Chain A
Amino acid sequence: MFQVQKSPEVHDVVVIGSGAGGGTTVKVLTDLGMKVTLLEAGPMLNPNKDFKEHVWPWEVDHRGVGPNAENYFGKDLYPFGYFLAPNGYWDIPGEPFTVAPGSEFKWFRSRILGGRTNHYGRISLRFSDYDFKPQGFDGLGTDWPITYDEMSPWYDKAEEFIGITGTHEGLRSAPDGKFLPPIPPRVHEQLIQRAGKKLNIPVIPSRMAMLTKSIHGRAACHYCGQCGRGCRTASAFSSSQAMIFPAMKTGLLTIISGAMARELLVDSAGQVNGVSYVDKATRTDKVIRCKAVVVAASACESARLLLNSKSPKYPNGVANGSGEVGRNLTDTVGHAVAGIIPALEGTPRHNSDGIGGMHVYVPWWELDKKNKDFPRGYHIEIGGGFGMPQIGSFRNTAAKAGGYGPKLKEEINRYYGSQISFAGRGEMMPNKHSYCEIDPVKVDQWGIPVLRFHWQWSDHEVKMVKHMHHTFTDMIDAMGGRVTSPDIPEFTAQSVSVGGEIIHEAGTCRMGDDPKKSVLNKWSQAHEVPNLMVVDAAPFNGNPDKNVTLTIVANAWRAAAHFAEEFKKGNV
């Protein structure tokens, strides 16, 4: 017989999701002495066992291609490679989503303690003043109910805790923060800096969540460049290692892993008073009673949970009186171009690992330019250097060189390290055609109704990608290089990354002062349900070209500090 297990205990605060938003909430609340219960849909994380840091390909019999040669046949057994940290999936068996006809969308979901922070790129950029108040800047988009100046002290806290490299540049498009020392640019990055100088494009030290010196008991980086594999010394930031593990030692945190939230429960006054979740291991439904809920399940998963929490009081889903839950969905505009640079061929060999990812990057540089044909801008991420050889590393070189024997070896040696890449990461303007909603008929293996996505790029994004493509091509030309990416004769929506592909979803529970037009207030509390908060990227009113994670942490920190005060006063 189907029986829901209910425990009579009433928990103080239940946090749903353990990534950047959930991890920050757990840290801030337990630091303030509050009791927290954390629900995570995936398993616990054991870095010493789960991270494949420093493993050579030959230590694995399949060398990383997958135990059944999956990668050779284009199957994504490991979305970003076998050696990366356990992170999540593009497709979770038994947990589908649907995409409306005419739309294309990819949805990456993490199911592990720490969520995507275990593997993310760790690029950590503050949003600018105009990102919070775009109406007075160019009249597009929606103002946030908070200003940059209000957010700035929380950015300070986030940066000082996470540890972020960088330099003071005084750029409006890339506000300075509390930085750790930067890391020297690699050879190809110095060449790109010269190209930038020629083209008047600034190439500045990158802002990355890796420790160039030890802070808060976390060891300094040892420069193996494998941050994406997960860092056993926690020298690269993850919410699991830097926030949740320390919180476990306070005795104030209870973690329930393998717990897939089904629905938020409300009392007769319309306040949240519990969470119904699936205990995946036993396939049983359980109910946990609580005084407040913080949802941080990732923008779309959080929207799904709210929309699925229907009751007579909230027939369209809890906190959805405005009808805005699931709306205003955005992702980052992505486009990349690669090239071969003859000047780099035969570079004297050296260890170029450094920190995982780029040591320099290009912040948006045409903020004041008039007559642009697209709004806002993008930053440029840079790739190159002597990477650890992996399955597939030399496939293109071998195909191009042809032949075999010592000559093929020579060619592979010559081209190694001469390839560079530019990836644009730009701002998408929210549009009414891009949103998620509950699919009217489909449920997942837990019986939870799934999301259906609608997606459309606008002309803004297409024109931005065209600008990216020409800029990257010009940079490669300036270095005397040859573009290896396909030429794009005509730019269309197909030239832009697929929606969701850059994994920066935001906007599905936007914040605002007007309850008719927004889901949350300026403290990330639901207008209609003050003891319910959402603290991932769902509250964002826009999705600037400054990757979401740092702002998730700063906003969650600010929200949690405010919530703790209200909770202690008995207001929530």
Chain B
Amino acid sequence: MEHTSRRELFKIIGSSIVLTTSGSGVLSPALAQHVHNEVAAVKSLSGGANYVPKQFTPHNFETLKTLSEIIIPGASDAGAAEYIDFLSSRNDELAAIFNGGLAWVDHYMEKNYDADFLKASATQRTELLDKLAYPANVTPATAQGVPFWTWARNMTVDAYYTSPAGVKDIGYMGNQVLGSFSVPQEAVDYVMQRSPFARQA
């Protein structure tokens, strides 16, 4: 089947479901697989250069986008900043966490390096992030940034791994329509050889 737009896909699903004698809708496996492939072909979830933030100032949004890309390379393209912006526009508590956290980051950077997070060098950014991301390195001066850091890391991880790029990166190969189910022997062998049962195998 040729490439199909998202809207067309849902039209196909709607019109192709046939009623069997049992009254349940059936989407043919071939069609379901086609729909699946098309949806999985979605590449970037980023809003692109023309994205207008719903909650954050353009500066804060840009900072968040940069930060998310440092947390998980690829997160920017996976729409992490847009995801956080969207939910912050719908949840005041979340908006306060991110607005407050981003302001704290800039203030910390200005105070220590005379540059906000975006203008700071990679080395300067790393100096701060290392004091947020590793519990052993947290100082009294960075402790107040840690709750924000945890939110930013968690939501970035969430956004990335629930994107097509993240699913590909982690190697999830399911959500398919299969005619039968089998388990690859090489995977079984790999695990058994590494297990305490290796010698009995």
CB of B49 within 8 Å of the partner chain: no
Q: In the docked arrangement, what's the CA distance between A216 and B154, Å?
A: 46
Contacts of A365 in B (CB 8 A): none
B105 to chain A minimum Cβ distance, whole angstroms, is 14
Asked if B183 and A413 make an inter-chain contact with CB atoms under 8 angstroms apart, the answer reads no
Chain A, range 329-387, C-beta contacts under 8 Å to B: 342-344, 346-355, 386-387
Given contacts A73-B93, A245-B23, contact A404 B29 (CB under 8 A): no
Q: In the docked arrangement, what's the CA distance between A344 and B194, Å?
A: 8
How many interface residues does B have (CB within 8 Å)?
Answer: 76
B56-64, B82-90, B106-114: which lies at the interface = B82-90
Contacts of B94 in A (CB 8 A): 69, 72
Chain B, range 116-172, C-beta contacts under 8 Å to A: 129, 133-135, 150, 153-155, 157-159, 161-164, 166-167, 169-172
CB of A312 within 8 Å of the partner chain: no
* 8 Å CB contact of B197 from A63, A194, A402, A408: A194
Asked if B161 and A351 make an inter-chain contact with CB atoms under 8 angstroms apart, the answer reads no
CB of A183 within 8 Å of the partner chain: yes
CB of A92 within 8 Å of the partner chain: no
Which residue on A lies nearest to B78, using beta carbons?
A58
Given contacts A58-B164, A245-B24, A408-B71, contact A232 B90 (CB under 8 A): no
B171 to chain A minimum Cβ distance, whole angstroms, is 4
Chain A, range 20-41, C-beta contacts under 8 Å to B: none
* 8 Å CB contact of A63 from B35, B162, B176, B184: B162
Which one of A65, A224, A398, A412 has the highest number of Cβ atoms from chain B below 10 Å of its Cβ? Answer: A398
Contacts of A224 in B (CB 8 A): 174-178
* 8 Å CB contact of B133 from A195, A393, A403: A403
Asked if B27 and A233 make an inter-chain contact with CB atoms under 8 angstroms apart, the answer reads yes
B8 to chain A minimum Cβ distance, whole angstroms, is 15
Which residue on A lies nearest to B165, using beta carbons?
A58
Asked if A225 and B174 make an inter-chain contact with CB atoms under 8 angstroms apart, the answer reads yes
B28 to chain A minimum Cβ distance, whole angstroms, is 9
Which residue on A lies nearest to B149, using beta carbons?
A404
Given contacts A184-B182, A386-B174, contact A216 B22 (CB under 8 A): yes
CB of A175 within 8 Å of the partner chain: no
Asked if A479 and B195 make an inter-chain contact with CB atoms under 8 angstroms apart, the answer reads yes
Given contacts A194-B195, A389-B170, contact A248 B23 (CB under 8 A): yes
Contact with A along B32-57 (1 / 0, CB 8 A): 10011001101001000000000000
Asked if A398 and B183 make an inter-chain contact with CB atoms under 8 angstroms apart, the answer reads no
Given contacts A391-B158, A403-B134, contact A56 B176 (CB under 8 A): no
Q: In the docked arrangement, what's the CA distance between A414 and B71, Å?
A: 17
Asked if A349 and B157 make an inter-chain contact with CB atoms under 8 angstroms apart, the answer reads no
Asked if B22 and A409 make an inter-chain contact with CB atoms under 8 angstroms apart, the answer reads no
CB of A310 within 8 Å of the partner chain: no
Q: In the docked arrangement, what's the CA distance between A420 and B128, Å?
A: 36
CB of B21 within 8 Å of the partner chain: yes
Asked if B190 and A348 make an inter-chain contact with CB atoms under 8 angstroms apart, the answer reads yes
CB of B4 within 8 Å of the partner chain: no
CB of A228 within 8 Å of the partner chain: no
Asked if B176 and A353 make an inter-chain contact with CB atoms under 8 angstroms apart, the answer reads yes
Q: In the docked arrangement, what's the CA distance between A216 and B45, Å?
A: 42
Q: In the docked arrangement, what's the CA distance between A388 and B174, Å?
A: 7
A411 to chain B minimum Cβ distance, whole angstroms, is 11
Which residue on B lies nearest to A46, using beta carbons?
B25
CB of A218 within 8 Å of the partner chain: yes
Asked if B153 and A347 make an inter-chain contact with CB atoms under 8 angstroms apart, the answer reads no
Which residue on B lies nearest to A221, using beta carbons?
B181
Asked if A389 and B192 make an inter-chain contact with CB atoms under 8 angstroms apart, the answer reads no
CB of A406 within 8 Å of the partner chain: yes
* 8 Å CB contact of A352 from B26, B155, B174, B192: B174
CB of B180 within 8 Å of the partner chain: yes
Which residue on B lies nearest to A248, using beta carbons?
B23
CB of A198 within 8 Å of the partner chain: yes
Given contacts A233-B24, A388-B172, contact A398 B157 (CB under 8 A): yes
CB of A190 within 8 Å of the partner chain: yes
CB of A530 within 8 Å of the partner chain: no
Asked if A187 and B191 make an inter-chain contact with CB atoms under 8 angstroms apart, the answer reads yes
Q: In the docked arrangement, what's the CA distance between A393 and B162, Å?
A: 9
CB of B73 within 8 Å of the partner chain: yes
A24 to chain B minimum Cβ distance, whole angstroms, is 15
Asked if A62 and B169 make an inter-chain contact with CB atoms under 8 angstroms apart, the answer reads no
CB of B103 within 8 Å of the partner chain: no
Asked if B196 and A480 make an inter-chain contact with CB atoms under 8 angstroms apart, the answer reads yes
* 8 Å CB contact of B173 from A56, A190, A351: A351
Q: In the docked arrangement, what's the CA distance between A106 and B134, Å?
A: 39
CB of B70 within 8 Å of the partner chain: yes
Which residue on B lies nearest to A184, using beta carbons?
B183
A495 to chain B minimum Cβ distance, whole angstroms, is 28
Contacts of B88 in A (CB 8 A): 69
Asked if A408 and B72 make an inter-chain contact with CB atoms under 8 angstroms apart, the answer reads yes
B150 to chain A minimum Cβ distance, whole angstroms, is 8
Chain A, range 397-441, C-beta contacts under 8 Å to B: 398-399, 402-406, 408-409, 412-413, 416
A36 to chain B minimum Cβ distance, whole angstroms, is 16
CB of B188 within 8 Å of the partner chain: yes
Which one of A63, A344, A353 has the highest number of Cβ atoms from chain B below 10 Å of its Cβ? Answer: A63
B76 to chain A minimum Cβ distance, whole angstroms, is 13
CB of A249 within 8 Å of the partner chain: yes
A446 to chain B minimum Cβ distance, whole angstroms, is 31
Contacts of B172 in A (CB 8 A): 349, 386-389
CB of A569 within 8 Å of the partner chain: no
- Contacts A241-B22, A246-B22, A349-B171 supplied; 5 other A-B pairs, CB < 8 Å: A54-B32, A241-B24, A348-B186, A405-B73, A480-B196
A-B pairs, top 4 by smallest CB distance, nearest first, are A245-B23, A349-B171, A234-B24, A57-B162
Task: Identify 16 residue pairs between A and B in the complex whose beta-carbon atoms are under 8 Å apart, listed by A's number.
Answer: A58-B163, A63-B162, A187-B183, A187-B187, A187-B188, A222-B179, A233-B27, A248-B23, A343-B196, A347-B191, A348-B190, A355-B181, A388-B172, A394-B157, A402-B134, A408-B157
- Residue ranges of A at the interface with B (Cβ–Cβ < 8 Å): 47-48, 54, 56-59, 61-65, 67-69, 72-73, 183-188, 190-191, 194-195, 198, 216-219, 221-226, 232-234, 241-242, 245-246, 248-249, 342-344, 346-355, 386-395, 398-399, 402-406, 408-409, 412-413, 416, 478-480
